Amino acid sequence: MRAPLHIAYQMVVIMALGGMAGIYCKNNFPTYGSWYMIGILLFALIAAVYLAIKDFI
C-alpha cells in the first residue's frame, strides 16, 4: 500500500502536466480552446487509471 502523500504528489504532478498540455493546445489551437479543459480531464483520468493498474501489478 502506497503512502497517501505519495499518491497526492503523483496527482499534483499529473495535473501540472495536464495543465501545461492544455495551455499549449489552447495557445496553438485557439479555435479549439473549449477542448483544452476536456483534454486535461482525459489526461488526468488516463494517468490515474495507469497508476491504479501499476500499483496492482
Mean pLDDT within 17-37: 68
Among residues of the chain, what percentage have pLDDT more than 70?
61
Q: Which of the four pLDDT bands, split at 50, 70 and 90, describes residue 26?
A: low
pLDDT value for 32:
60
Residue 54 has pLDDT above 60, yes or no: yes
Report the predicted TM-score, pTM, of the whole model to 2 decimal places.
0.41
Per-residue DSSP letters for 11-49? HHHHHHHHHHHHHHHHHH-GGGGGGHHHHHHHHHHHHHH
Domain ranges of the chain: 4-56
Average pLDDT, the chain: 71
Residue 2 has pLDDT above 70, yes or no: no
